[in-house]
Amino acid sequence: MPPTPFAPVILGNEPGSFPHSVLAERHPAIIRQVRDAFPYGPGQHRALDELLKSCTEGTVGPLPADAPDRALWQRWGLADHAGRSWYDVPWLWSESYFYRRLLDAVGWFGPGAWQGVDPFRPFKRAELDAPATDEELTALDALPGLPEEERAHALLHGSLWGNRADLGFRLSAEGAGTRDPAPALVADDSEALWSLLPPGGTATLVLVADNAGRELVPDLLLIAHLLAEGRAARAVLHVKPYPYYVSDATTADVVDALHRLRAASGAAAGYARVLWSAMADGRLTMRAHPFSCAPLPYAEMPDDLRAEFAAATLTVFKGDLNYRRLVGDRLWAPTTPFQETTGYFPGPVAALRTLKSDVITGLSAATVAELEAAEGRRWRTGGTHALIQADVT
Ligand SMILES: O=P(O)(O)OC[C@@]1(O)O[C@H](CO)[C@@H](O)[C@@H]1O
């Protein structure tokens, strides 16, 4: 494997930077929103107050002594980062630990009556139940008459642009939830992606999901199409083992999305039937691996996950956070080849992502110059540009 080129790991300690604003503004806003959404008791309010103080002004503290994943987090960096400011440790680490501590504060891990109550569920549900979701499902009725390649293209792009605005992102990005017309992709390796999924083949597709609701629905539609057309013989959907980054999909969110599709009419219900039966006969399975919520890049994945990705025909990573973890949460030169940063990955891999953070690789110098001339630095974080990148070597 060629040596990974050097680029600095992103921290959150530069005032005025995007990562700093996430720690200083987005996290307190998330605490406010969660607090408002549930009739929590005094213990939970106290714990949320403590988290707010700690994550904005304090230092990283330990996990409770009885936390089931304490040893795991110690290995994942807690042993090194405890006692340091949340702003001075890797930004990816700080964000992940924030969500882990938020779940502690509301009693997710139990024991007690609040065990397993997802603090983000009301927001995810509202999105799934929104009229915009109905409109998107009704639009599917235009697909059945089209040639397979056009349907595949439409569903791939539906899944890509479904990532445009996650719920956490909408708290701080003005207008990011709106559906403006999609601009051209800043990188497009979709031909390489399709070359691994020919119709009538034997491919195993792994899709590492990102957000629930209006991103997960088009992800499921894409999977349904690939299975129905034989572009994939088997699909594995990786979701999060616990609520994370506000809208990230868990098993419960997949079940909600499948119910939503099943209750729809027209073409949407047909896709639901494909998915339902593929789950029943094992062609579509779900995984909720602990590493999916790890505060680390995928270069540090455990052996069992590495073996799973190695066995897949193609692994597709959805979304911004998964992209950061796939290529490493570093300030790469934007022209660093994508394939150089994913060289460690044990099999063919692709990313479908809208750009919502500073990390970017694999662009041509001309594209970077054009984006910078038009938008300064905003193109990196505004959620208005997207890419399809693949390393199929
Ligand atoms: O992974 P997703 O849902 O596409 O985006 C996650 C995100 O909202 O969270 C991070 C900041 O907290 C950024 O990487 C990104 O904007």
pLDDT in tens, 132-141: 999 999 999 9
What are the CA-CA distances from residue 186 to residues 180, 183, 282, 355 (Å)? 17, 9, 36, 10
Atom 12 in ligand 1: residue holding the nearest Cα: 22
Q: What is the pLDDT of residue 216?
A: 97
Average pLDDT on 323-344 reads 98
Atom 11 in ligand 1: residue holding the nearest Cα: 22
Q: Are strands 234-238 and 314-318 parallel, antiparallel or unpaired?
A: unpaired
User: Which helix (H) or strand (E) covers residue 206, if one does?
Assistant: strand 204-208
Q: What is the pLDDT of residue 181?
A: 60
Taking the centre of ligand 1 as the mean of its atom positions, its distance from the CA of residue 256, in whole angstroms, is: 22
**pLDDT at residue 173 greater than cutoff 50:** no
Q: What is the pLDDT of residue 183?
A: 76
Q: Are strands 386-391 and 314-318 parallel, antiparallel or unpaired?
A: unpaired
| CA gap 238, 294 in Å, rounded | 14
Taking the centre of ligand 1 as the mean of its atom positions, its distance from the CA of residue 230, in whole angstroms, is: 32
**Ligand 1 atom nearest residue 163's Cα:** 4
- CA 102 from centroid of its chain's CA atoms: 18
Average pLDDT on 39-59 reads 97
Contacts of 305 (CB under 8 A, 6+ apart): 289, 291
Express each pLDDT in 343-372 by its tens digit: 999 999 999 999 999 999 999 999 999 999
**pLDDT at residue 281 greater than cutoff 90:** yes
Taking the centre of ligand 1 as the mean of its atom positions, its distance from the CA of residue 336, in whole angstroms, is: 21
Peptide bond into 111 cis (omega under 30): yes
CB 63 within 8 A of CB 77: no
Indicate the DSSP class of residue 317: E
**Ligand 1 atom nearest residue 26's Cα:** 12
Express each pLDDT in 71-80 by its tens digit: 999 999 999 9
**CATH 3.40.50.10880 spans which residues of the chain?**
121-391
Express each pLDDT in 201-235 by its tens digit: 999 999 999 999 999 999 999 999 999 999 999 99
User: 213 in ligand 1 pocket by Cβ < 6 Å?
Assistant: no
User: 173 in ligand 1 pocket by Cβ < 6 Å?
Assistant: no
Most ligand 1 atoms within 8 A of CB, residue of 10, 18, 20, 22 to mutate: 22
- CA 296 from centroid of its chain's CA atoms: 14
Confidence band, pLDDT 50/70/90 cuts, at residue 164: confident
**Ligand 1 atom nearest residue 173's Cα:** 16
SS3 labels along 107-147: CCCCCCCCCCCCCCHHHHHHHHHCHHHHHHHHHHHHCCCCC
Q: Are strands 349-354 and 386-391 parallel, antiparallel or unpaired?
A: antiparallel
Most ligand 1 atoms within 8 A of CB, residue of 170, 245, 248, 380 to mutate: 245
pTM of the predicted structure, to 2 decimals: 0.95
**pLDDT at residue 5 greater than cutoff 50:** yes
User: 211 in ligand 1 pocket by Cβ < 6 Å?
Assistant: yes
**Ligand 1 atom nearest residue 381's Cα:** 16
3-state secondary structure of 235: strand
Taking the centre of ligand 1 as the mean of its atom positions, its distance from the CA of residue 14, in whole angstroms, is: 18
Residue whose C-alpha is closest to residue 249's, from 282, 208, 290: 208
Architecture of the domain made up of 121-391? 3-Layer(aba) Sandwich (3.40)
Express each pLDDT in 99-156 by its tens digit: 999 999 999 999 999 999 999 999 999 999 999 999 999 999 999 999 999 999 999 9
Dihedral of the CA atoms 51, 53, 59, 60 (nearest 10)? Answer: 10
